[in-house]
């Protein structure tokens, strides 16, 4: 398959490299890593085994890339004002676009520009960081759940899932992408925000009884708001929260991406992870009180 990667950060570089290694033709739109990658290739370090791609097709401008079948979006959502501009030159012929960005609202931006029928979204459970230019560190996981923006289980989504699975990335096509996105928010909203705000990692948060109780309460707010959207099946609060907490207890000392972004002085993905979900909740008459407070205090910190 002929694939373009827009937003070649830790996520875009990792999945792009994995797909190229599996025999796909991959084109990377690059900024920071352009020189390193076009000259020396791309290195992935991973607990699954390091590998190096000697020849990588890198571009400064997406307009230089010929027709592709799939545009894979890994752009950080705080750069979404450039999302459509960067993607437009690539959406020729029958190309479809799969956004693996965080949070809500990304598919909508793409659907408005290119038509809902060309848009898929996915949730990536990936732990990776950029290293030196030309190197990406995969620390663990990588599973993807993807689906049609318009809903329903399409052949196209099933084929894309097969593409990732063949490349070694566990991937599941889901019929209700919105439900998958809200499920991910149940984890992202409390842990990303509280870790970024307090500077504590997930283990420190869970070890403190009152903070753990706040995490559970925040998860409850998110699930209630998600269920108010009319998902295909409601998220069952009690068991899902317990599952999330138990999974997080195994992530010893884990620092979510938003905490690292804050510590390293980068902007946070507040709109996609807080702003849009709060608005969606309000549209259905749900007030996520704790989430609103968390959003306000995270946004306050952005002025530093």
Q: Which residues bind a second copy (CB under 8 A)?
A: 194, 197-198, 200, 204-205, 208, 210-211, 213-214, 217, 289-290, 292-297, 299-301, 303
CB of 201 vs a second copy, minimal distance in Å: 12
Determine whether 184 is an active site residue.
yes
Would you tell me how many other CB atoms lie within 10 Å of the CB of residue 131?
Answer: 14
CB of 33 vs a second copy, minimal distance in Å: 34
Retrieve residue 214's tokens: 């706040």
Instruction: Choose between 148 and 221: whose C-beta lies nearer to a second copy.
Output: 221
Instruction: Choose between 184 and 290: whose C-beta lies nearer to a second copy.
Output: 290
Catalytic residue among 40, 55, 184, 243: 184
Instruction: Choose between 263 and 300: whose C-beta lies nearer to a second copy.
Output: 300
SS3 readout for the chain: CEEEEECCCHHHHHHHHHHHHCCCEEEEECCCCHHHHHHHCEEEECCCCCEEECCCEEECCHHHCCCCCEEEECCCHHHHHHHHHHHHHHCCCCCEEEECCCCCCHHHHHHHHHCHHHEEEEEEEEEEEECCCCEEEEEEEEEEEEEECCCCCCHHHHHHHHHHHHCCCCEEECCCHHHHHHHHHHHHHHHHHHHHHHCCCHHHHHHCHHHHHHHHHHHHHHHHHHHCCCCCCCCCHHHHHHHHHHHHHCCCCCCCHHHHHHHCCCCCCHHHHHHHHHHHHHHCCCCCHHHHHHHHHHHHHCCC
Would you tell me how many other CB atoms lie within 10 Å of the CB of residue 38?
Answer: 18
CB of 254 vs a second copy, minimal distance in Å: 16
CB of 68 vs a second copy, minimal distance in Å: 40
CB of 190 vs a second copy, minimal distance in Å: 11
Instruction: Choose between 93 and 210: whose C-beta lies nearer to a second copy.
Output: 210
Instruction: Choose between 234 and 275: whose C-beta lies nearer to a second copy.
Output: 275
Hey, which residues are catalytic here?
Answer: 184
């Amino acid at each position: 398959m002929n694939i373009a990667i827009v937003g070649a950060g830790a996520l875009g570089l990792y999945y792009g490299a994995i797909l190229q290694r599996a025999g796909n033709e991959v084109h990377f739109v690059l900024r920071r890593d352009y020189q390193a990658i076009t000259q020396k290739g791309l290195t992935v370090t991973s607990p699954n085994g390091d590998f190096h791609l000697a020849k990588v097709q890198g571009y400064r401008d997406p307009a230089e890339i010929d027709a592709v079948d799939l545009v894979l979006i890994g752009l950080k959502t705080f750069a979404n004002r450039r999302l459509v501009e960067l993607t437009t030159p690539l959406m020729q012929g029958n190309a479809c676009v799969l956004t693996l960005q965080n949070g809500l609202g990304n598919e909508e931006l793409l659907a408005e520009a290119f038509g809902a029928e060309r848009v898929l979204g996915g949730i990536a459970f990936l732990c990776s960081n950029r290293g030196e230019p030309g190197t990406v560190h995969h620390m663990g996981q990588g599973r993807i759940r993807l689906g049609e923006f318009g809903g329903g289980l399409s052949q196209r989504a099933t084929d894309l899932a097969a593409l990732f699975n063949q490349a070694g990335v566990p991937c599941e096509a889901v019929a209700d992408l919105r439900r998958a996105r809200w499920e991910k928010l149940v984890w992202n909203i409390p842990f990303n925000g509280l870790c970024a705000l307090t500077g504590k990692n997930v283990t420190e948060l869970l070890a403190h009884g009152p903070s753990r109780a706040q995490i559970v309460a925040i998860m409850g707010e998110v699930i209630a708001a998600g269920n108010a959207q009319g998902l295909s099946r409601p998220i069952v609060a009690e068991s899902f929260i317990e599952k999330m907490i138990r999974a997080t207890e195994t992530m010893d000392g884990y620092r979510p991406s938003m905490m690292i972004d804050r510590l390293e002085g980068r902007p946070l993905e507040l709109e996609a992870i807080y702003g849009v979900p709060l608005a969606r909740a309000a549209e259905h008459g749900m007030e996520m009180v704790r989430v609103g407070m968390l959003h306000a205090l995270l946004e306050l910190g952005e002025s530093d």
